[in-house]
Amino acid sequence: MNDLFDAIEPRDPSREVMADGAILLRGSALSFEADILSALQAIVGQAPFRHMTTPGGYVMSVAMTNCGAAGWITDRTGYRYDRIDPESGQPWPAMPDCFLGLAIAAAAEAGYPHFVPDACLINRYEPGARLSLHQDKNERDFANPIVSVSLGLPATFQFGGLKRNDPVRKFALRHGDIAVWGGRSRLCYHGVPELKEGEHEKMGRMRINLTFRSAL
């Protein structure tokens, strides 16, 4: 059936199916690079990157900020979405139109035509930073996918199953790659092992990942 489909409509080489519901669109953000980077600069001016503390008392090696109606936060009391940035006491910066348009277009391309994000978590990795294996389950409705945009240094991404001990597969995520995680992949465990040392021509010594969510 897949072969028949490919014969009619040849597979787009920039599109990879990672798992049921998980689609990788290689380089899809590259044509919006300049708009994304200037929007990012404005967001970080209002809501700077910070290292949050987990409920267990660990300071995360990944620095984070948010834009949109809600932002993901963690502190000693737990993980949650909040409309207010706890550092400023103000609402998170608005979601820029170029972020919103990119996320909606990528989700539609991956087969989720109704996705409208209300939150964008922005992760900054410097060499050595890592995100241990976890599930994203603070969002209200898991029928909505998550869209991620990778910028800067390349990272290995670990993609597991519905149980923490399920085997993981590894994918390289590079500058400009967009991935959409929905359906049967939505609650899969995933993580990013220590970022390797390097220097990216546009982003310098870091990796930034935008994850668009329908949280509220």
Place of tokens 């060499």: 127
30: number of Cβ within 10 Å: 12
CB-based closest residue to ligand MD3: 209
Q: Is 131 in the site for ligand MD3 (CB under 6 A)?
A: yes
Nearer to Fe ion by Cβ, of 28 and 185: the residue is 185
Nearest to 133 by CA among 154, 155, 162: 162
Of residues 127 through 146, those in contact with Fe ion by CB under 5 A are 136
Report what 65 binds from ligand MD3, Fe ion, none; CB cut-off 5-8 Å by kind.
Answer: none
Side-chain-facing half-sphere of 83: CA atoms under 13 Å: 2
Cα 101–chain centre separation: 15
- Choose, by CB under 6 A, the member of 40, 43, 73, 136 that binds ligand MD3: 136
- Exactly one of 39, 40, 73, 146 binds ligand MD3 (CB under 6 A); that residue is 146
Residue 115 within binding range of ligand MD3, rule CB under 6 A: no
Q: Does 211 bind ligand MD3 (CB under 6 A)?
A: yes
Four-CA torsion 67, 134, 170, 61, nearest 10 degrees: 60
User: Considering only residues 179-208, where is the footprint of ligand MD3 by CB under 6 A?
Assistant: 179, 181, 185-186, 188, 190, 192
Torsion of CA 50, 36, 108, 185, to 10 degrees: -30
Contacts with ligand MD3 by CB under 6 A lie at 121, 123, 131, 136, 146, 148, 179, 181, 185-186, 188, 190, 192, 209, 211
